[in-house]
Amino acid sequence: MKTSSKRRKSISASRKAPASPSEATSRKALGEVQAARVLAQTLRQRKALPQALEAWQKVAELAPDDSEAWLQSARIAWTLKDAETTQRCAEAVLRLEPDNVEALRWLARAHRQLEALPQALETWRRVAELAPGDSGAWLQSARIAWTLKDAETTQRCAEAVLCLEPDNVEALRWLARAHRRREALPQALETWRRVAELLPGDSGAWLQSARIAWALKDAETTQRCAEAALGLEPDNSDALRLLAHAYQHHDKAQEALGIWQRIGEQAPGDAEALLKIARLAWSTGDADKAESQAKALLSVAPNGRDALALLATIFYRQRRFDDLAEILTTYAGENWTDAVKYLYVLESAERHQLLADTVSQILKSAPPDHEIVAWAGKINFRWLADAATFLKSGDKCDAIALYKAVLTVHPDNGEAKELLNRPSPGAATPAGNPAKES
């Protein structure tokens, strides 16, 4: 049976030509990509994140130009706290789409996590350039710039945040710190005061304001801000110190003394508190407290020049020369150059032997370059001259006292030895006469 011509044409038209090998491969690859994509999406929905990441990376491997696959991989890698994979995937996106803001964000975060701070800052700055209304990018830039100790960039980025969000407290803090580091103290104070206005319960903002106000020698603002900080934290040691300084500046000695005593109660061995209490007690007429606090300070800081000077002043004013000599003997060998000033006090009081004993003891421990070494030579010369004058005037007792003082300091002084051993005309050598002490 023969097939009609019309029938044969219909059958021929219905037949399709076989696909070429390249087309078949392409269709197969597209099918694999689609299957991998569906699997990745399914795993993501099921929150099987490690498997979802592996599936998205399979998609990216099959279709390297698929930026969405790389971006999905970066997202999941960051969720899995895998900063290295996040960075690699974000960089793959940016090779395809250099201005992809989301990829830049993931890359910036990965740099930050990997402690590549300069790169993190550069990337966040790129995000801010592409999205200038994104306050978060500027804020991240400010944070990293501060960590890098770049106060200028910190300031610029914080100011960009505040142009978008004038009351952003974190940005204000970064700006205040940047002003402080750049020594723009009035601006730093103004900014910290702004933080305190927005967060009146933030004792740290008040404390920072008080510190900067004190640095600016603004005692009134220091007092006000320190009191605000103490209203929130009554035992804050830093705020108490600043308040005490402000009271002293205003000549409120009793109020300052009370504050320093509170600090001393909090920290019994605090050297600054002990010294301040001693000085204020002395200025308010309480010599006993001044002495006890100065001695307590010396037990904490044995070579404290300020405590030594205060004790020496107290003993001098009270004419307690033996106590003054003890202080000088105990501490002057530690290069306490002010000791010489108080040695003059003993000399002016004509306590020659006490002075000689004191100088002799100091010289045993004083370093060769100590001021007292040269001073001892000068006093030796003066004593010899005065002794000669006394001898000429017939005042042998005073002369002998001075010669003995000279030998106490300089036992090998030949002039003093000779004159002490020389017999007086018509009388025995007046050895053993007591030194004149008044």
Contact between 315 and 354 (Cβ < 8 Å):
no
In the block, tokens 């250099």 appear at 98
For the stretch 68-76, contacts whose Cβ atoms lie closer than 8 Å and that sit 24 or more positions apart, written own/partner, are: 69/37, 69/40, 70/96, 70/103, 71/100, 71/102, 71/103, 71/106, 72/40, 72/44, 74/103, 74/106, 75/106, 76/44, 76/49, 76/52
Q: Could you tell me the CA-to-CA distances from 187 to 3, 78, 172, 183, 331 in Å, in that order?
A: 101, 39, 11, 9, 46
Which of 45-54, 237-246, 312-321, 384-393 has maximum average pLDDT?
A: 237-246
Least confident of 4-18, 61-75, 190-204, 380-394: 4-18
* CATH code that applies to domain 183-242: 1.25.40.10
CB 214 within 8 A of CB 188: no
Query: What does 157-170 look like in DSSP terms, one character per residue?
Result: HHHHHHHH-TT-HH
Nearby residues of 327 by Cβ (< 8 Å), 6 or more positions away: 308, 311, 312, 315, 342
Question: Of 437, 431, 376, which is closest to residue 404 (Cα–Cα)?
Answer: 431
pLDDT digit string (tens) for 314-369?
Answer: 998 898 988 888 888 877 666 566 777 778 888 888 888 888 888 888 787 777 77
Going from N- to C-terminal start, the domains of the chain cover 183-242, 319-438
- Give 186 or 365, the one with higher predicted confidence: 186
Question: Does residue 194 register a pLDDT over 60?
Answer: yes
**pLDDT level of residue 428 (50, 70, 90 thresholds):** very low
Output the six-digit token pair for 129: 């350039």
- pLDDT higher for 324 or 192? 192
- Cβ–Cβ < 8 Å for 376, 409: yes
Flag whether pLDDT at 220 surpasses 60. yes
Task: Give tens-digit pLDDT for 149-179.
Answer: 999 999 999 999 999 999 999 999 999 999 9
**CA–CA separation, 392 vs 426, rounded Å?**
16
Work out the pLDDT band at 256, boundaries 50, 70, 90: very high
Binned at pLDDT 50, 70 and 90, residue 182 comes out as very high
> Can you say whether the dihedral through the CA atoms of 389, 392, 395, 398 is positive or negative?
positive
Mean pLDDT of the chain: 86
* pLDDT number for residue 19: 46
Specify burial of residue 189 (Cβ count, 10 A radius: 0-12, 13-18, 19+).
buried
Cα separation, 279 vs 191, in Å, equals 36
Which has the higher per-residue pLDDT, 416 or 141? 141
Task: Give 282-303 pLDDT, tens digit per residue.
Answer: 999 999 999 999 999 988 877 6
3-state DSSP assignment of residue 250: coil
> Per-residue DSSP letters for 55-94?
HHHHHHHH-TT-HHHHHHHHHHHHHTT-HHHHHHHHHHHH
For residue 334, the 8-state DSSP code is: G
pTM > 0.75: no
